[in-house]
Amino acid sequence: MEIYLDNAATTRAYESVCQIMVKTMRQDYGNPSALHMKGVEAEHYVKNARQYIARTLKIGEKELIFTSGGTESNNMAIIGGAMANCRAGKHLITTGIEHASVYNPMMYLESQGYEVTYLPVDSTGTVRLDALEKAIREDTILVSVMCVNNEIGTIQPLDKIGRLIKEKNPKTLFHVDAIQGFGKMRLWPSKLGIDLLSASGHKLHGPKGVGFLYIKDRVKVHPLILGGGQQKDMRSGTENVPGIAGFGQAVEEVFENLEEKLDQLYSLRDYFIQRVCELDGVVINGFTHRQEGFFGPAPHIVSVSFADIRAEVLLHALEEKKIYVSSGSACSSNHPAISGTLKAIGVEKKYLDATLRFSFSFDTTQKDIDDCIDALKSIVPVLRRFTPGGRR
């Protein structure tokens, strides 16, 4: 029996998601741009998904652009947003703990003559609001801050960030990478001052290869993909109907009784932390307990450092027992390096290469956690005996 605790990397698609995707590939397979009935049937799935997602965000349906996933959404928001607003300035702001799909577009824009300010964070991974206030200038055209850090699970205080940005410079766009946050909390862009918001289907039991970008009405974004003019000329190309239909189905299912599901997930997170701290030489990175208000830990991610053990060795030892976890961001697994997030929050040097990420879903059970802890209790002491200078 396998235990999957790498849900921040991807989640297993719901059965209902698989069913609707098969139907759109085998039965209602028309091109949504076609004028005949087959095209109308396909367009119906896109429209339904748009309605479901817009309803959860309390936005207009026309403010959603479907993409190939979170990376494209982030690139479109940052590069497209910068290109469309460059006459107002060329200064951008982000944090030092962003995902590569934000960090690399920022680096690209720097090579094109833009200036980027990288904000520091505190020991919990929360952005320093005083630094943000000082950084916003008259020529600041965009601020990009992730909703939930993909490595340690910190929720940023988006309400305070959005308010601060608009008070300092109302023309500055506020982009939120909500790839880890969408489906793990209620996100209402208009209430939080968000102009652009990215999300991805496979993080909440939907399919891979599909995402969306919310673009607030009248916000200028330059399209990055040109062609037949689909989606209001903002993202040309035939819509991925199976992916969009599956994404919409996942959203509908996830957001039903969401608060109850989140309470269960937080309880599971608390239980995991309690159990894993039964081991010696363990450190929890970021927030340990749920906070009041719009910040604190996300319900599905826990970052744990194990003294005197290399993370990759422990990861593969757990894998041998069919327990699957991560040593960092799955999107950066082909380019292993010491986590910039762990460095930014001041994790001790000895723990930088000794940290695993455990991430849960609505399918995770208490038994999964108990079995994982039992495995850790048997593996960790053995590995430490074989680590030079390790505990004996």
Give the Cα separation of 14 and 12 in Å (integer). Answer: 6
- What is the DSSP secondary-structure string of 81-108? HHHHTGGG--EEEEETT--HHHHHHHHH
331 belongs to the catalytic site: yes
Given 3.30.930.10, 3.40.190.10, 3.40.50.300, 3.40.640.10, which CATH number is that of 15-254?
A: 3.40.640.10
- What is the DSSP secondary-structure string of 26-67? HTS---TT-SSHHHHHHHHHHHHHHHHHHHHHT--GGGEEEE
Give the Cα separation of 157 and 130 in Å (integer). Answer: 13
Which residues make up the CATH 3.90.1150.10 domain(s) of the chain? 3-11+258-385
pLDDT attached to residue 337:
56
Question: Out of 18, 86, 331, 372, which one is annotated catalytic?
Answer: 331
pLDDT attached to residue 386:
76
Which residues make up the CATH 3.40.640.10 domain(s) of the chain? 15-254
pLDDT attached to residue 390:
54
Instruction: Write the DSSP symbol of residue 156.
Output: P
pLDDT attached to residue 339:
75
* Sequence-separated contacts (24+) of 159-165 with Cβ below 8 Å: 159/191, 159/192, 159/193, 159/294, 160/129, 160/294, 161/127, 161/129, 161/132, 161/193, 162/192, 162/193, 162/194, 163/193, 164/129, 164/132, 164/133, 164/136, 165/132, 165/136, 165/193
pTM of the model: 0.95
pLDDT attached to residue 1:
84
The CATH homologous superfamily of the domain defined by 3-11+258-385: Aspartate Aminotransferase, domain 1 (3.90.1150.10)
pLDDT (tens, 9 = 90+) of the chain, 392 residues, equals 899 999 999 999 999 999 999 999 999 999 999 999 999 999 999 999 999 999 999 999 999 999 999 999 999 999 999 999 999 999 999 999 999 999 999 999 999 999 999 999 999 999 999 999 999 999 999 999 999 999 999 999 999 999 999 999 999 999 999 999 999 999 999 999 999 999 999 999 999 999 999 999 999 999 999 999 999 999 999 999 999 999 999 999 999 999 999 999 999 999 999 999 999 999 999 998 887 777 789 999 999 999 999 999 999 999 999 999 998 644 544 445 567 899 999 999 999 999 999 999 999 999 999 999 999 999 999 999 876 655 54
pLDDT attached to residue 335:
47
pLDDT attached to residue 219:
98
